[in-house]
Chains A and B, each alone.
Chain A
Amino acid sequence: MSPWRDGLRRLRRYPSALLGALIIVALLATAVYAVVTIPYSEAQRLWRGGDLWQELPVNAGPVWADRLFGGDAPRTLRIPTAAAPIAEEAYEGVRITEQRLTFDFTYSEFPSEINLFLGSSGSDRQPFVRATWITPQGEQIPLDARRIGANERISISQNQTLEGRLGAPPQIGLFSATSAGAGTDQQALEVQQGTYQLLLETVHFAETSELHGELIVYGQVHGWAGTDHQRRDLSVALLWGTPIALAFGLIAAVGTTVTTLIIAAAGVWFRGWVDAVIQRLTEINIILPLLPILVMIGTLYSTSIWLMLGVVVVLGIFSAGIKMYRAMLLPIREAPYITAAQAYGASDLRIILRYMVPRILPVLIPTFVTLIPTYVFLEASLAVLGLGDPILPTWGKILYDAQDQSALYHGFYYWVLSPAALLMLTGLGFALLGFALDRVFNPRLRSL
């Protein structure tokens, strides 16, 4: 039976290997899902951020975490003007419309923010809008009155005068059961559940003029991953971080182990000055610290993840592995079957690739598998050091942003925990499989 098939059969007896393989398969599936649903360019565009995230709350936690701890944090409510009926009255030269944006607020906690997005179209004469808040009890609170251009954002929760009138930030004051006077303890305020209305009274100065937009009452939770300080949905970065992490780890591991092995084999085979050069290069390279070099390149040149990958691979080629493989290959070089191959005319390249390298592949596989997460962690470390890729979402970048925004100090645990959990899961999966592979293949090598 083939030693490979035999090895796989024996691997099945290790539950840890199965668990590891399961984790890796799940990660791979996630990576494939991410790449298929969000194309590379789309992922970059999304992560660049800006207005496209404006309907999401800032620093919202994941929904499941809130439910897990029995919370009833509000989700984001979006009430478009298009859904509200329009009552219209015509006067001389002007039209007055009245719209009520109606919604039920049933959560026991206050929303995080209220924004009103309005825009006018159909005429270059801008309509005049007066917005009034109507509580479930029917209390009317005037919010704002202004002309509306093509695209306006009315930040109700940033309205200082309104905050002064309410005695609390508008997103709290507008939803509290009791109106707060000055000096009221905001923690004591309670949410008034019920049906709220936003009354929009618009004066149009042209027949064709129209008003459109929506009211967004931002929640405190969003999706399964939450959002960051730029309202970006973290699920994008968590999803897309998977293929990037796996690709980085895999390419770096393949790039270093395979080339290292082949170079070691070439040195052992050719001996003489080839071997001497390879050994000296390795000895010099071993004492060069990788991280400072990467920091230097990132600071002075570019922090592109693919450049970093290239540098990691190049510096990883002449690594300590060369010494290890050399020690393993030296006796193999003298094996009679190599002499036989030489005698029937096999070329140097053929001897190295077909006769020497395959002999130690069984020991290479576990090393290779356990090496993948180290490179994943390296990428994360670089990102945390501020040398992450500037345009791509990665797990390390999330951690960097979280640290930058003092996420733990502010209590945004999800921001740190979810990328960290994914990193740990990756490490765990490859380690479980790698250690089991090591147990299966290494004794085999000793017996060969």
Chain B
Amino acid sequence: MRRTTSVSETPGSEKPGSERSIGERPGNPSAGVATATRGTVATGGVEATGTGAVTTGGAATPTAPTYQQPHQPLLTVEALQTHFELRQWGFLRVGSVRAVDGVSFTLDHGESATIVGESGCGKSSLARTLLGLHRPTAGRVTFAGTDLATLRGRALKAYRAAVGYVQQDPYGALPPFMKIRRILEEPLIVHGVGTRRAREERIAAALEEVGLEPAHETWQKFPHQLSGGQQQRVVIARALLLRPKLIIADEPVSMLDASVRAEILELLRTIQRQHRLALLYITHDLSTVRHYAHRAMVMYAGRIVEQGPVERLLDRPHHPYTRALLAALVDPDAANAHQQRPIPAGEPPSLLHPPSGCRFHPRCPAIMVGRCEHFDPEEAHPRPGHRVACWLHSR
């Protein structure tokens, strides 16, 4: 069994697949049923709050798009759980990793939201569940009114076209033995798009959009002949090719040079605005969040502990964990270079044996002994659209 020990995520650390351990069987339906009952008990608090009030969250943000449909959000996530079974000798269940353990939020058309959390908090598992790569253990994901779990065959393929995916490691995300043109042609071939010529035009348009001009020069190269930033642009172009409604960007810049991070983030934002895409930006880096998304969600140990409009969440954080994250941010002021910052003691909890009650209680500076370690915190609503799961703010 593996435990995550690092407090902050180092760029370049291998992320994809790191949550998976030996013997895990995500696709095993019987395992899902077995853990579902346990999961429901543990997350009763989250479920109790419901999701009805959240729908207005997007609308409250100052930069929310004007055309949005008020009645139905694009993506609704309700009490989502993704657990990974741990087995010994292939059949003995020895526990399960609760990577996502009761996550609820909504995302409107054209809205961008960010999920912030330490490494190992379940961000990537959440992304992969939303992409339909892991089957949720419990809970529901609704995309444009359809339950993701009911999608099969053609409908599932259509869903995959509607959701774009930008990954952390741009080089790893591109098959090294294919030329760029082939790499970009693949999704189009999979979805049976047009003739070879029509596909070429779309590829060229996508490459130009991500700033890789001239397209016919770029597409003759192999991935290793491009710089990291260029590779990530190709990944973004690939995510755009099928004209998605939602793009899930899982740490899109954490493995890039600091010098190109801003460029790539800016590119993502421009594209999001131009195409009115919904964007779910997953990151461990709070500093990139502020000018980026409409809404921010802070994830801790498989749960969202606080969510709300970005400005408000960053300026007036309610949850002790959000406060700690903000306090740990690097301050550009040189005068403070040697100042000691209060970092939450301890380490992110094991998702195999998460702490009882509030997941953050072992590290919380404001722990209320007798309550926090026994009961799941109820969600409080300090403002419309601002939700926080902490006993400090609920009665």
| With A272-B28, A334-B16, A339-B128 as contacts: A345 and B173 at CB distance below 8 Å | no
Q: Does B174 contact A (CB under 8 A)?
A: yes
Contact at A3–B177, with CB atoms within 8 Å?
Answer: yes
| With A335-B172, A336-B172, A337-B173 as contacts: A342 and B16 at CB distance below 8 Å | no
With a CB–CB cut-off of 8 A, which chain B residues contact A284? none
Complex-state Cα separation, A358 to B186, whole angstroms: 15
| With A344-B165, A345-B161 as contacts: A355 and B133 at CB distance below 8 Å | no
Q: Digit string of B155-196 for contact with A (CB within 8 Å is 1, else 0)?
A: 011001101010111001111110000000011001100000
Number of B residues contacting the other chain (C-beta, 8 Å)? 34
Contact at B157–A336, with CB atoms within 8 Å?
Answer: no
Contact at A336–B173, with CB atoms within 8 Å?
Answer: yes
Contact at B238–A340, with CB atoms within 8 Å?
Answer: yes
Complex-state Cα separation, A350 to B173, whole angstroms: 16
Complex-state Cα separation, A354 to B190, whole angstroms: 12
Q: Does A448 contact B (CB under 8 A)?
A: yes
Complex-state Cα separation, A363 to B168, whole angstroms: 28
Complex-state Cα separation, A334 to B190, whole angstroms: 21
Q: Does A353 contact B (CB under 8 A)?
A: no
Contact at A358–B177, with CB atoms within 8 Å?
Answer: yes
With a CB–CB cut-off of 8 A, which chain B residues contact A336? 16, 167-169, 172-173
Contact at B16–A346, with CB atoms within 8 Å?
Answer: no
The smallest C-beta distance from A213 to any residue of chain B, in angstroms, reads: 71
With a CB–CB cut-off of 8 A, which chain A residues contact B191? 344-345
Contact at B16–A359, with CB atoms within 8 Å?
Answer: no
| With A335-B172, A339-B167 as contacts: A344 and B190 at CB distance below 8 Å | yes
In A325-347, which residues have CB < 8 Å from any B CB? 334-337, 339-347
Most buried by B among A341, A359, A448: A341
Contact at A344–B177, with CB atoms within 8 Å?
Answer: no
Q: Does B90 contact A (CB under 8 A)?
A: yes
The smallest C-beta distance from B85 to any residue of chain A, in angstroms, reads: 12
Contact at B175–A337, with CB atoms within 8 Å?
Answer: yes
Contact at B177–A342, with CB atoms within 8 Å?
Answer: no
The smallest C-beta distance from A138 to any residue of chain B, in angstroms, reads: 85
Contact at A340–B167, with CB atoms within 8 Å?
Answer: yes
- The residue on B at minimum CB distance from A342 is B133
Which of A272, A276, A341 is B186 in contact with, Cβ under 8 Å?
Answer: A341
With a CB–CB cut-off of 8 A, which chain A residues contact B132? 343
Q: Does B363 contact A (CB under 8 A)?
A: no
Q: Digit string of A352-392 for contact with B (CB within 8 Å is 1, else 0)?
A: 00110011000000000000000000000000000000000
The smallest C-beta distance from A5 to any residue of chain B, in angstroms, reads: 12
Q: Digit string of A1-13 for contact with B (CB within 8 Å is 1, else 0)?
A: 0110000000000
The smallest C-beta distance from B230 to any residue of chain A, in angstroms, reads: 16
| With A272-B27, A355-B175 as contacts: A344 and B167 at CB distance below 8 Å | no
- The residue on B at minimum CB distance from A354 is B186
Complex-state Cα separation, A127 to B156, whole angstroms: 93
Q: Does B17 contact A (CB under 8 A)?
A: yes
In B1-44, which residues have CB < 8 Å from any A CB? 16-17, 20, 25, 27-28
Complex-state Cα separation, A336 to B165, whole angstroms: 11
Most buried by B among A271, A342, A345: A345
Contact at A344–B242, with CB atoms within 8 Å?
Answer: yes
| With A272-B25, A272-B27, A336-B168 as contacts: A343 and B131 at CB distance below 8 Å | yes
Complex-state Cα separation, A121 to B165, whole angstroms: 91
Complex-state Cα separation, A337 to B191, whole angstroms: 17
Complex-state Cα separation, A337 to B235, whole angstroms: 10
The smallest C-beta distance from A447 to any residue of chain B, in angstroms, reads: 10
A contact set with B: CB distance below 8 Å = 2-3, 271-272, 276, 334-337, 339-347, 350, 354-355, 358-359, 448
Identify the 7 closest CB pairs spanning chains A and B, nearest first. Answer: A345-B160, A336-B172, A343-B165, A344-B187, A334-B17, A336-B173, A345-B157
Q: Apart from A3-B177, A272-B27, list 16 A-B contacts with CB within 8 A.
A: A272-B25, A334-B16, A336-B169, A337-B174, A339-B128, A340-B165, A340-B167, A342-B133, A343-B133, A344-B191, A344-B242, A345-B156, A346-B186, A346-B187, A359-B177, A448-B176
20 A-B residue pairings within 8 Å (CB atoms): A271-B25, A272-B25, A334-B16, A336-B173, A337-B173, A337-B174, A339-B167, A340-B173, A342-B133, A344-B165, A344-B190, A344-B242, A345-B160, A347-B190, A354-B186, A355-B175, A358-B177, A359-B175, A359-B177, A448-B176
